Chains A and B, each alone.
Chain A
Amino acid sequence: MSNENKIKLFLVDDDLLFLKSLEIEFLQHADFDIETFTTGEDCLLNLSSKPDVVILDYHFDGYDKNAMNGIEILDKIKQYNSEIQVIMLSSQDKIEVAINCMHHSAADYVVKSETAFLRLQKIIDTIFSYKNIEKKLQWYMDRM
């Protein structure tokens, strides 16, 4: 598949080990065009390369107090282009975190665990099947 047809995916996490493990899993199991970033700021600087999906860590400012937190980055991505789907990642399995992500228009929220990759893959599949349905619907609407 050419790069133009691939889903463009940004992986954003300051935990290099988890970031690399996700990158490996995505590259081994599916056909994605992947870019990885260890800071939210770097991700924002590269939004012009038009990611379809951003997988973003929730907890950025814990270790580096000056870093923007995940929700601030999510808001900035949505301000830049609301069509970009953002899936939030966290090692905290907390309802407040999940609700906060949803309030800020995240597509979904995934806990970092052994099944995180499978869940992410399923969410991305769902996002794109909805997008296809919307496209088809629009095609029919245009012809009515």
Chain B
Amino acid sequence: MKTEAINIERSTNMSYLNRITKSNPDLIMEMITIYLEQTPILISGMKKAMQDQDWDSLHAVAHRMIPSFLIIGISSEYELMTKKIQKYSGSSEDSIEIEMMVEKVITVCENACKELEEEYNTLKTPTHE
């Protein structure tokens, strides 16, 4: 089924991180740690801004999220969504679409956190003595 196929698709892609770090596990782990520290704060910020209809904060959080998508390999489709969220000024005609996009962006970031936690644990565990 199509939905199952979407569910098993990964949200992240490590190729950019592998390229810039030359696959150095310590550097990759350092980058993952930074992502895992800053992203939950941004997710909460985005949820709160949407709830409070605080468009300045929504703009600021979306702006802050954008560069990380490239680094951890989140699809550019979500980058475009986040840019749309960033541009949103609170006009009522777009509000439902924006709310849906916010939900999608939050979901992809939450999935990314789970995947990167797994990646971190795999890197931390030595494969051979």
Query: In the complex, A20 Cα to B37 Cα: how many Å?
Result: 13
Give Cα A45 to B20, complex, Å: 30
**CB within 8 Å for A18 and B60 given contacts A24-B20, A25-B20, A28-B22:** no
User: Do A18 and B20 touch across chains, with their CB atoms under 8 A apart?
Assistant: no
Which chain B positions have C-beta within 8 A of A16? 34, 37-38
A95 shortest CB reach to chain B, Å: 15
Q: Which residues of B contact A114 (CB under 8 A)?
A: 16, 70
The answer to whether B30 has its CB under 8 Å from any CB of chain A is: yes
B101 within 8 A of A: no
Contact of A17 among B22, B35, B45 (CB under 8 A): B35
**Which A residues between 14 and 52 are near B, CB-CB below 8 angstroms?**
15-18, 20-21, 24-25, 28
- For residue B31, CB closer than 8 A to chain A, the reply is yes
Q: A24-B21, A24-B27 are in contact. Are A17 and B59 (CB under 8 A)?
A: no
* A20, B30: Cβ atoms closer than 8 Å: yes
CA distance A9 to B45 in the complex (A): 32
Report whether over half of chain B's contact residues are helix, strand or loop; otherwise say mixed.
Answer: helix
Q: Please judge, given known A-B contacts A112-B66, A114-B16, whether A21 and B60 are in contact too, CB under 8 Å.
A: no
For chain A, the count of residues having a C-beta within 8 Å of the partner chain is 18
A63 near B64 with CB under 8 A, answer: yes
Is A15 in contact with B64, judged by CB distance below 8 angstroms? yes
Residues of A within 8 A of B64 (CB): 15, 62-63
Bitwise, B89-121 to A at CB < 8 A (1) or not (0) is: 000000000000000000000000000000000
10 nearest A-B residue pairs (beta carbon): A62-B60, A18-B67, A112-B67, A91-B66, A16-B34, A17-B34, A63-B60, A17-B68, A62-B63, A21-B71
Q: Which residues of B contact A (CB under 8 A)?
A: 16, 20-22, 27, 30-31, 34-35, 37-38, 45, 59-61, 63-64, 66-68, 70-71
A-B contact pairs, 15 of them (CB 8 A): A15-B38, A15-B67, A15-B68, A16-B37, A18-B67, A18-B68, A21-B31, A24-B20, A25-B20, A28-B20, A28-B21, A62-B59, A63-B45, A63-B64, A114-B70
**Apart from A24-B31, A112-B66, A113-B70: 15 A-B pairs, beta carbons within 8 A:** A16-B38, A17-B35, A17-B71, A18-B71, A20-B30, A20-B34, A21-B31, A21-B71, A24-B27, A28-B21, A59-B63, A62-B64, A63-B61, A91-B67, A112-B67
